[in-house]
Amino acid sequence: MTLEIRWIEDLLALEQEKSISQAAEMRHVTQSAFSRRLQNIETALGFQILKRHSKNIDFTEAGQILLASAKNIQNQLETTINYLEKNIKNNELTVKFAVSHSLITQFFPRFIHDLSLNLEDLKLEIIAANQKQGMRLLKDGSCDFLICYCDQKTLQQLDPSLFIFHKIVKMEILPVTALNNNLPKYSFDQLFPLLAYSKQAYLRNCVDEVIENKLNYRTLYETDNAGDLKELALQGLGIAWLPKLLVEKEISENKLMIVDQENYHTFQNIYIIRRQIILSNRISYIWNSLTSHEV
């Protein structure tokens, strides 16, 4: 059996228009020619793809499976074309990472350190993005990899035919505050100003699960950027929940202190995600290098 690319376009047109005559017009052929093409598909495959006695255009179970495959092929072709248009110019390949804001300054440089040593001509572009923005960039081919916090519910929603992911590390998220006479400036025993993540930030929900209806606070400031929250905490403006890696130095220098009640600490997994389709040997090499061990 020989698969013809036009079959994919024919099936997608028929599914979109719900009419043989309109699908034929969309494909710039006569209705009789389009009907013959559908019959040729069924003859080549050896099974029916349309329910012949239905008043509407209904696909058989086999037809629905074939249609789903056609949509996947279309998505992969569009992704490939977008990738080539956006990333390959003058035979140069720039590897693009979309990275959660809170992971850019401390985590990401450590994560790719060995890779940057092994690939001397490596050219990186870093795009700061929250999880939802990063997935959109990944889907339309605007980045090669996404590094972000992620939970199992979100991962289960990813189409395994389009995306693959790998857990990098489990990160502890700590409540921290500035010091006042070697003591934490704010505590959970009193009303405290909360330095919060904005609603679109992934860590917002994580922190809310820990503190809502449990602690007495007022929200002073909201932002996507954990780095901004750290600076506000250093200025003594409130308590912020920050990735441990982001505040290790400040804690060791006694500039910040952990509000030490472990039931208000939380952990979040960091993942690297890419599209299933690999468009260059370099992307494959980078993926294998970065997923060969946990940080």
- pLDDT tens for the chain, 295 residues long, are 555 677 888 888 888 888 888 988 988 889 888 888 888 888 888 888 888 776 678 888 888 888 887 887 777 667 666 665 555 554 456 789 999 888 887 888 888 888 877 777 778 889 988 888 899 898 888 899 999 999 888 899 888 888 999 999 999 999 999 999 889 999 999 999 999 998 888 899 899 999 999 999 999 999 888 888 999 999 999 999 999 989 999 999 999 999 977 789 999 999 999 998 877 788 888 999 899 865 5
- For residues 223 and 244, the answer to whether their CB atoms sit within 8 Å is no
Give φ, ψ of 4 to 5 degrees.
Answer: -100, 135
> What does each C-alpha distance from 44 to 36, 37, 181, 295 come to in angstroms?
12, 10, 81, 51
> Model's pTM, two decimal places?
0.65
Contacts 24+ apart (CB under 8 A), 37-45: 37/6, 37/7, 37/10, 38/10, 38/14, 41/7, 41/10, 41/11, 44/1, 44/2, 45/1
- The DSSP bridge pattern shows strands 145-149 and 95-99 to be parallel
- The alpha carbon of 242 is separated from its chain's Cα centroid by a whole number of angstroms, namely 21
Domains annotated on the chain, with CATH = 5-79 (1.10.10.10), 88-169+269-290 (3.40.190.10), 170-267 (3.40.190.290)
- The DSSP bridge pattern shows strands 163-180 and 183-184 to be antiparallel
Instruction: Please report the pLDDT score of residue 211 as a whole number.
Output: 93
Question: Coil, helix or strand for 90?
Answer: coil
CB neighbour list of residue 122: distance below 8 Å, 6 or more residues apart: 95, 115, 116
Nearest Cα to 268, choosing from 207, 214, 221?
A: 207
Joined tokens for residue 76: 């992969």
167-210 pLDDT tens trace: 999 999 999 999 998 899 999 999 999 999 988 888 998 999 99
Instruction: Please report the pLDDT score of residue 92 as a whole number.
Output: 53
Question: Coil, helix or strand for 189?
Answer: coil
Instruction: Please report the pLDDT score of residue 90 as a whole number.
Output: 46
CB neighbour list of residue 47: distance below 8 Å, 6 or more residues apart: 60, 62
Residue 18: count of CB within 10 angstroms of its CB: 11
